[in-house]
Amino acid sequence: MLQNIINLTVKDVRFPTSLEQHGSDAMHTDPDYSAVYVVLDTDDGLKGFGLAFTLGKGTEIVVCAVQALAGLVVGKSLQDIVHNFRGFYRLLTSDGQMRWLGPEKGVIHLATAAVLNAVWDLWARAESKPLWKLLVDMDPKQIVSCIDFRYISDVLTEEEALDILMKAKEGKQQRGEQTKSQ
């Protein structure tokens, strides 16, 4: 059954950590740890949850950025997204109208992260698995297909990543069991 994303909700969640300077440091003397919280709803009632953290002021701007990306998410089927996860990432970061705002840095980067986190969560829930188990069960080619190598291929190519994962298949079952027991 196809699961179509029918709604994206985003909330600005803030915690008054600056009142007693919890989490402060030399550069961030008054952080109010906050999150942009995204919920994706599907037509069959499944939900995916994602977030990106901020330090308070400006969170409302990230919320607006998520809302601007919503049109690229709502109406998509989860199956189409996961069968071309790299393409979906590129769709979010290459929108002609939003690209000049910095899709791989700043506000749009945070908004994209919150949306992608919600998609990963939705995918794991659709498979009835915790996210770690979804990843453990993925074939190396599938894992590599989720990664955009455009900016890292000078350090790690897609072929090299696939080779590393193929070599790591030995012992995968044991590592999965260790993770499960922790």
pLDDT digits (tens, 9 = 90+) for 135-159: 989 999 999 999 999 989 999 999 9
Higher pLDDT, 182 or 115: 115
Q: Give the burial class of 48: count Cβ atoms within 10 A of its Cβ; 0-12 exposed, 13-18 middle, 19 or more buried.
A: buried
pTM equals 0.89
Paired strand residues for 53: 35
The predicted pLDDT at position 100 comes to 79
Q: What is the pLDDT of residues 8-30, one digit of tens each?
A: 999 999 988 888 888 778 887 88
Contact 30, 24 (CB under 8 A): yes
Question: Which structure tokens are listed for 133?
Answer: 């188990």
| pLDDT per residue as tens digits for the range 58-77 | 999 999 999 999 999 999 99
- β-partners of residue 39 are 9, 49
pLDDT (tens digit per residue) in 84-133: 999 999 999 988 888 778 767 789 999 999 999 999 999 999 999 999 99
Query: How confident is the model over 51-63, as a mean pLDDT?
Result: 93
**Which strand ranges, in their side-by-side order, compose the sheet holding 34-42?**
5-14, 34-42, 47-54
Q: How far apart, in whole angstroms, are the C-alpha atoms of residue 35 and residue 53?
A: 4
